Amino acid sequence: MIDKPKLKLAALDQSPVREGGTASEALQETVELAQACEKAGYHRYWVAEHHATSSYAGPAPEIMVTRIAAATERIRVGSGGVMLSHYSPLKVAETFSLLESLFPGRIDLGIGRAPGSDQLTALALAYGSEIGIEYFPTRIADMLSFLGNSEPPTEMFKRITVSPQPENPPEVWLLGSSDQSAHYASQFGLAFTFAHFIAPEGGEEVLQEYRDKFMPSEFNPEPRGSLAVFLTCAETEDEARRLAKSRDLVLLRRAKGERGAYPSVEEAEAYDYNEQDLRIIEHNRSQSIYGDPEQCRKILTDLANDFGVDELVILTICHAPAARRRSYELLAGAFDLA
pLDDT tens sequence across 308-338:
999 999 999 999 999 999 999 999 999 999 8
Residues 111, 289, 302, 337, CA torsion sign: positive
CA R_g for the chain = 20
Confidence at 299, pLDDT banded by 50, 70, 90: very high
Residue 168 forms part of a structural domain:
yes
Q: Kindly report the CATH number assigned to the domain that includes residue 54.
A: 3.20.20.30
Residue 305 forms part of a structural domain:
yes
Residue 131 forms part of a structural domain:
yes
- Count of structural domains, the chain: 1
Mean pLDDT over the full length of the chain = 93
| Domain interval for residue 46 | 8-334
Residue 2 forms part of a structural domain:
no
Residue 160 forms part of a structural domain:
yes
Contact 79, 107 (CB under 8 A): no
Residue 1 forms part of a structural domain:
no
Residue 3 forms part of a structural domain:
no
Residue 169 forms part of a structural domain:
yes
DSSP state at residue 235 = S
Distance CA 251, CA 157 (A): 43
pLDDT in tens, 213-234: 999 999 999 999 999 999 999 9
This prediction's pTM = 0.94
